[in-house]
Amino acid sequence: MNTDQKVISVRNLTKKFGAFTANDSLSFDVYKGEIFGFLGANGAGKTTAMKILCGLSYPTSGEIMVAGLDVYKQREELKKNIGYMSQKFSLYEDLTVFENIRFYAGIYGMSSKEIKAKSDDLLQKLGLVHARNKRIGELPLGWKQKLAFSVAIFHNPEIVFLDEPTGGVDPVTRRQFWDLIYEASRNGITIFVTTHYMDEAEYCNRISIMVDGRIDALDTPERLKKQFEAKDMDEVFLKLARKSNYQE
């Protein structure tokens, strides 16, 4: 982690839907090459903030720079430098594995030669060579998620945003998924990930915890545990989440 190089810089990000404030004056930095965990209960505003950082949604106010680019003015330029994997699986299920890769890589302007070579390596690595020409809809969820992640970083972006990437996936596949994340991180891709699993939070270099649209804590997992006098992240999370006004 290199604290000199900010990949994401957010100052006072606020997003309102009518009277409801989904993100209340968020400020944080993400540094190059780190794995940044974005935690919070359902409805805390994680996805909203992430969509703004990806240029999918307009912020109400705030200064936001991603990959050195302004999300207001340079949104399309910014999109060349990021990858995104949504909460809901969103590759084309009617297309084959290779067709999906070729399609998305094509949008980022990669040559077909490059696409072919890189996708062969990728499928080899994932052990999906036999599934190259299978329709994605036929694959099990775990494979789909690994593919979705691989497609999101196929064009070698500076940052990849992962919105609950391991939801509904079995523990073994989750572990494999995190191996992929580590590998991407080693290759210099900054990871911005939201999750519900507190064991996954421990894998992150730094985490922020959102409660009711605000960031209530931001530090390394070790320091957070110390700060909240908790034995694990679970406890930290529960202590913070209990403060929420939206308890049922």
Partner 1 sequence: MLPIIFAMPIIQLCVLVFAATFEMKNTNVYVVDRDLSSHSRQIISKFYGSPFFTVKDVDFSIKNAEDELSKDNVDAILYFENGFGKAVDKKEHASVQVLVNAIDASAAGLYNAYILSVIQDYNLQVNSKIQSVDKNNTVLQVKNTYSYLFNAEMKYIPYMLPGILVLLITVIGLFLSAMNVVREKEIGTIEQINVTPIKRYQFLIGKLIPFLLIGFFELGVGLIIAAFVFKIPILGSVWLIYLVAFIYLLTILGIGLFISTQTDTQQQAMFIAWFFMIIFVLMGGLFTPTESMPEWGQKMNLLNPVAYFIKIIRMIMLKGSGFMDILKDLSILALYSLVMLSFAVNRYRKVA
Tell me, what amino acid is at 245?
N
Binding of residue 38 to partner 1 (CB under 8 A): no
Binding of residue 210 to partner 1 (CB under 8 A): no
Q: Encode burial over 130-160: b for 16+ CB neighbours within 10 A, e otherwise.
A: ebeeeebeebeebbbbbbbbbbbbbbebbbb
The nearest distance, CB 230 to partner 1, in angstroms, is 35
Binding of residue 89 to partner 1 (CB under 8 A): yes
Residue 18's Cβ-count burial label (10 Å; 0-12, 13-18, 19+) is exposed
Q: Which stretch binds partner 1 (CB under 8 A): 103-111, 167-175, 203-211, 216-224?
A: 103-111
The nearest distance, CB 177 to partner 1, in angstroms, is 18
How many residues sit in the footprint of partner 1 (CB under 8 A)?
Answer: 23
Where are the strands (E) in the chain, listed by range? 2-17, 20-32, 35-40, 61-66, 69-70, 82-85, 159-163, 190-195, 206-211, 214-219
Q: Residue 198's Cα: distance from chain center in Å?
A: 16
Binding positions for partner 1, 55-84, rule CB under 8 A:
55-58, 75-77, 79-80, 82, 84
Q: Which stretch binds partner 1 (CB under 8 A): 36-44, 49-57, 61-69, 234-242?
A: 49-57
Among 86, 119, 194, 195, binds partner 1 (CB under 8 A): 86
Binding residues vs partner 1 (CB under 8 A): 51, 54-58, 75-77, 79-80, 82, 84, 86, 88-93, 104, 107-108
